Amino acid sequence: MVEVVGNLHLHTVYSDGALPHAAVAAAAARAGLDFLVVTDHNVRVQGLEGLYRIPDGRQVLLLSGEEVHDMLREPQRNHLLVYGAGREMAPAAQGQPPQRLLDAIAGAGGLSFLAHPVEAAAPWAGEGEFGWDDLDVTGFTGIELWNTMSSVKMMLPDPVRGVFALFFPDLVMIGPPPQTLRLWDDLLRQGRHVVAIGNADAHGAVYRFGPLRKVIYPYEFLFRCVNTHVLLDAPLSGDPAVDGPAIYRALAQGHAFVGYGLPGNPRGFRFGAWLGNAVTAIMGDSTPLTGGQTLRIAAPAPARLKLMHDGVSVAEAYGQELIYQPTQPGVYRAETWKRYRGRERGWIFSNPITLTGPAERIGNT
């Protein structure tokens, strides 16, 4: 497996972002990312996909996606990240129920992720709340488990904490919102394949507070924070027509994890099901529960490792490895928490491995 690290939610001057594509790509290359998917609001910008290189030789692949919502709806909630649909999906959202949009994206062969599904407003900063309302929809690929800017906004209920966050941005980042983790576990427990991704939602906006003028959360800083690590069958070629579909295929399968880069580089993390010396399933996969099977978490640095089964912690260890012998079918996922700047912070969140039993329970009556 080849691990590539990217960010799948950011804005440019084509919507409410501060920088054009090339400058955003340069920031991503400096931050060490392998790929970016630009998601401007209700516009799929074409003609700018490709490989971007900075003077020191580092390069990043830039792809075009879209963040779609119904602009006729008030409040303008239900933001949806769209990848690989091959066409503009915003028109399918206007004045339509979200299910209609999800069906149109699926029909176009695209992926859809509920963006920042749980939020809180910061009214003193003019920041509204744009969570996801209609949780009875079906057919979406996954959810944005950790959106850096959205999770920061949730930590800023008043201007004092807002200014604090401006100068100590990493101190207010603790992990994905607990409500979003709960939502994900609930969906997984229903037996649904819901893939988690983690992104920046970078805008590079300038914030004015009295005499202060500061770019809040610059692109490059955010690209060092929460990203999505994708496991591919082959290295990136540099051709967006080849790499885009490969990345989206792996994402749809859930061959991915969410990593927060500041406490330590999450590259190299693995979560798999093993039988003897062979890996029988990686994150995102399903495999039958059998005797002699183990689930293994391998972290690139010591951390608190946690194995979750159907939303409940079943094993915990401090170190770089956790090995568990499952006896129950269900959905297993891995979390790691790492100390950074005075407290433990969410570090890595894997997509789940489903161990299927001899028979699937399809109802509870």
Residues that bind Zn ion (CB under 5 A): 67, 79, 115, 201
Looking at beta carbons only, is 217 or 269 nearer to Zn ion? 217
What is the nearest approach in angstroms of Zn ion to the Cβ of residue 222? 12
Residue with token string 């859930």: 254
CA–CA distance, 353 with 255 (Å, rounded to integer):
10
CB neighbourhood size of 138 (10 A): 9
What is the nearest approach in angstroms of Zn ion to the Cβ of residue 345? 23
Q: How many CA within 13 A on the CB side of residue 294?
A: 12
CA–CA distance, 250 with 47 (Å, rounded to integer):
24
Residue with token string 């190299």: 268
CA–CA distance, 110 with 187 (Å, rounded to integer):
21
What is the nearest approach in angstroms of Zn ion to the Cβ of residue 240? 21
3-state SS, residue 4: strand
> Apex CA 154: angle with CA 148 and CA 155, to 5°?
95
What is the nearest approach in angstroms of Zn ion to the Cβ of residue 69? 7
Looking at beta carbons only, is 67 or 243 nearer to Zn ion? 67
Looking at beta carbons only, is 88 or 310 nearer to Zn ion? 88
C-alpha distances out from residue 309 to 157, 329, 353, Å = 33, 9, 10
CA–CA distance, 259 with 237 (Å, rounded to integer):
23
What is the nearest approach in angstroms of Zn ion to the Cβ of residue 218? 16
Looking at beta carbons only, is 202 or 307 nearer to Zn ion? 202
Of 151, 170, 123, the residue nearest 9 (C-alpha): 151
Looking at beta carbons only, is 9 or 333 nearer to Zn ion? 9
What is the nearest approach in angstroms of Zn ion to the Cβ of residue 144? 9
Looking at beta carbons only, is 10 or 231 nearer to Zn ion? 10
What is the nearest approach in angstroms of Zn ion to the Cβ of residue 170? 21
Looking at beta carbons only, is 70 or 201 nearer to Zn ion? 201
CA–CA distance, 264 with 275 (Å, rounded to integer):
30
Structure tokens at 189: 């427990």
